[in-house]
Every structure is written in structure tokens, then in C-alpha cells.
Amino acid sequence: MRYLVLRRLAQCGVLALFAANTFVLKGNLSASKLFNTIPLSDPFAALQVFLAGMHIEITALLGAVLVACVYGLFLGRAFCAWVCPVNMIVDFAAWVRRKLGFKGVHLGLPRNLRYILLVLSLILSFVLATPAFESVSFIGVVQRGIILGTASWLIVALLLFCVDAFLGDKIICSKLCPLGAFYALVSRYALLKVKHDAMRCTKCDLCFEICPERQVLWMVGLKSVSVNSGECTRCGRCIEVCADDALEFSILDLKGSFKKKVLH
């Protein structure tokens, strides 16, 4: 529960700070100013803007590098679990899906679809000379809607909820979202990792059930290595659910982080 509460606090806190529009944080998740001086910008959006206009202003570039470094070097794909407001919608959808035992429908989407969409967004940004994913981004619509206090984003939120609750398991974040794919690529070597101790693991598979990216947990019960995929969102759900303390957050577990995946 601890991490869940912390995550909700972080997500709501960021949105609240944006909505308050004080000197602390101004703008929105696309780009913003911290303490009226430090620029922050969404590195994926900045990349699209660069490809669209073949030009990037130094402020946006600095902001993008800063954010990419924070996640790429330290926090991993934590944006998805700790900041992005869409996470609350898909978590709710996953909860509903679980509670209703609704397992019937599965859209057979390929696992790497989000990476295809990532590449597609970049190509289209260049071809159409407009930041392609930003122009249709459901994250953008939801976060701006909440921050600016409008209502029309609720349509999109409902759509996202329905897709994840009724059309298939975890479609939005693990199959479709190119921003998640971007952070997954950037996060491969981030320091914060989930450490697995195979000696303690009783193979109850509870972590598999709760993990939004269960493929990253291939080592559970097999090997004492850290979760080393960039796709892990660092949500800490697996840690909370594990009754045997086989999982925990760790930094600097460099040795365990880089072991190769074994086939099984």
C-alpha cells in the first residue's frame, strides 16, 4: 500500500502544482518552468518538435536533456507510474477488469507495437512538419484538461478506461503509448532498479499478476538478478505484493542489473 499511496500523492501533487500555477511550477507536462528558472520539457515531445521544425530553442533543449537525464540515469521509467495521470485511469481499469473477472476479450496486439508507434511518430513529425504524437496525444489531452480545469478530456479518459477494461489487458500503456516506449528505451541503464532474491522467492506468482509489464519479471524464482528491463515502471507493486520479501528497490546493484536474460 505504501508505494501506491506515495504514487497517488506524487501524481496528484504534480498536477496540483501545475494547476496552482505559482512560481514553483508553471506550464504543463509538455514543458514547464520550475521555480521560475529551471526549464523542464518532455524529451519525446521536444524530439518531435525538433524533427518537425528542424530547429530547437535552447530552453526546450535544456529542459529535455534535464528530464531525460533524471529518468535515464536515476529513476528509470518512473514517469509512467509516478507522474503520468493516465496511469490512474488504466490502474482503475485494470482493477475493474480484475474485479469483474473480465478476461474474455484480448486484442491480439503485438508486444512491440508501441515501439513501432514511436518510430512512426518521429517519421510523421518530420514528414508532416508537426509534432505528430503531441497533436493527438491522449496524455496531453488528459493532463492539460486536469490542469486547466476543463471537461472535454473526460471523453478521452472514458475511452481509455473502456479500452483497458473491456478490450484487453493493459493495452494503453504497454502496447500503444509511444511515450512509455521512449522512456523504456531511455531507462535501460537507470540506477533505480527492483532487486530480486531468488532464494527467498516461493514462486507464488503474485508479482506476475500485479505487474503492468510482466515480461520484465522473467527472473522471478529463477535467478537473483535485478529487474533489468527499461520497461519496468518502478511502480513498486511487485514489492508490495510479495509476502516473502524477495523483491525490493535498490540502487547501485550494478552487478545484478546486467545479467543476460535466460530462455525458459
Partner 1 sequence: MMQRRAFLQTALKGALLCGSGGAFLAAMLKAKHGKDSYALRPPGAEDGARFLSLCIRCGLCVKDCPYNTLKLATLLDYARVGTPFFEARKVPCYLCPDIPCIKACPTDALDKKHLEKNQGVDSLKMGVAVVDPISCVAFWGIRCDVCYRVCPLIDRAIKLETKHNERTGKHAYMLPVVQNDVCVGCGLCERACITKEPAIRVLPVAFVSGEVGNHYVKGWDAKDQERVKNAKPNTLNPRTDNPLDYLNKGL
Contacts with ligand SF4 in 175-234 (CB under 6 A)? 194, 210-213, 216-217, 227, 232-234
Least Å distance, CB 172 to ligand SF4, is 15
Number of H helices, E strands in the chain: 14, 5
Cell digits of residue 162: 473502456
28 or 87: CB nearest partner 1: 28
Least Å distance, CB 29 to ligand SF4, is 12
Q: Is 57 helix (H, G, I), strand (E, B) or coil?
A: coil
List residues binding partner 1 (CB under 8 A): 21, 26-28, 30-33, 39, 41-42, 45-46, 49, 52-53, 55-57, 59-60, 63, 110, 113, 116-117, 120-121, 124, 128-137, 140-141, 144-145, 147-148, 150, 152-153, 155-156
Cβ-contact 204, 264 below 8 angstroms: no
User: CA 146 to CA 15: how far, in whole Å?
Assistant: 7
Number of Cβ within 10 Å of residue 12's Cβ equals: 14
Whole-angstrom distance, CA of residue 155 vs CA of residue 81:
22
Nearer to partner 1, 42 or 253 (CB): 42
Q: Which is nearer to partner 1, 60 or 86 (CB)?
A: 60
Question: In this complex, which beta carbon is closest to partner 1, that of residue 18 or of residue 82?
Answer: 18
Spatial CA neighbour of 216 closest among 204, 234, 240, 203 = 234
Stretch that binds ligand SF4, among 7-15, 17-25, 235-243, 254-262 (CB under 6 A): 235-243
CB 7 within 8 A of CB 1: no
The contact set with ligand SF4 (CB under 6 A) reads 194, 210-213, 216-217, 227, 232-238
